[in-house]
Structures are given as C-alpha cells and as structure tokens.
Amino acid sequence: MSKQVNRSLKDKAMDHIDHTLGRPVDPMVESYRNYFATDPESENGKAFAASPYWDTNGKTEPGRMAYFFVNEAGRKALKRHLKEIGDKHRVYAVTYEGLTSSIVAVSAAKAKYSLWLDISDCFCDLTFNKFCRSATVRIAA
C-alpha cells in the first residue's frame, strides 16, 4: 500500500489525479483507491472524458454517475508534475528502540519529529532531545 501525503496542487488537472489516487507519495505504486465519480455532463466529466489520463467504466449516460479511473499515462504525468514542482515528500524509515516506522515527511528531521509526536504520549519521560539521541532515520527503500 502506498503512503499518503497531505497536499493540494495548484494545477487542478493534476490535483484531481492526485486526489483520485489518494494523494500518494509515489503515484506509480498501487493505491488504495482509484476512482472519481461525477456527472458525465459536468465540467469535470467532460474534461476527464477528453483527457488521455483517464479511463471510464463505459457508463457515461446523462443523468447517471460516471466513474473515471486514472490510467498509467495519468500516473506518469502526475509523477512528472510532482518532480517538476519540486515536491519533497518522501517515505522515511525511523527506528527507535528496535522498531522501525514508515513516516511521510519532507525531511529526515521532520520524520523523526513526527514519530516522536506519535509516541511521546506513551513515553511520558521521553524528551525530544533524548529521543533524537537514540532514534535513527533514513530514506525508505
């Protein structure tokens, strides 16, 4: 399963693709979702039908919902777009006390801080400084 990112993209066509795939770190990885339901006569429906980045289930009758799916070309286009805009989200492997967690962040330091926030409620005496001295972080493979 892919890791998700909390983002919105200025390019609305790419934002719709990103949203449809569940805002993955890597658009080429199979995602937990891949559909966009809309009226085929709506602005989005017409744009998706005309785009090379979308496929449909074939049911685009007026008055009924049409389901559009991002195809391989759409995934590749989103991947190129994210690279072009310099999206820095990556999956980091943060290890603390022998347990490794996958954390999505824009830097190793932010990944480490994110894990500390997640576990600090369970370890009341664990300061961030103490956590940093024993935790390790690397870009996940």
116 domain residue, yes or no:
yes
Q: Annotate 42-61 with b (16+ C-beta within 10 A) or e (fewer).
A: eebbeebeebebbbbeeebe
Q: Is residue 66 domain-resident?
A: yes
Q: What is the pLDDT along the chain (141 residues), one digit of tens a residue?
A: 458 898 999 999 999 999 999 999 999 998 888 999 998 888 999 999 999 999 997 766 667 888 999 999 999 999 999 999 999 999 999 999 999 999 999 999 999 999 999 999 999 899 999 999 999 999 997
Q: Is residue 45 part of a domain?
A: yes
Of 37, 54, 84, the one marking the end of a domain is: 84
Domain that holds residue 25: 12-84
Residues 21 and 71 in one domain: yes
Q: Same structural domain for residues 71 and 98?
A: no
In a domain, 58, yes or no: yes
Query: Residues 61, 80: one domain?
Result: yes
Confidence (pTM): 0.81
Number of domains forming the structure of the chain: 2
Domain-located, residue 46: yes
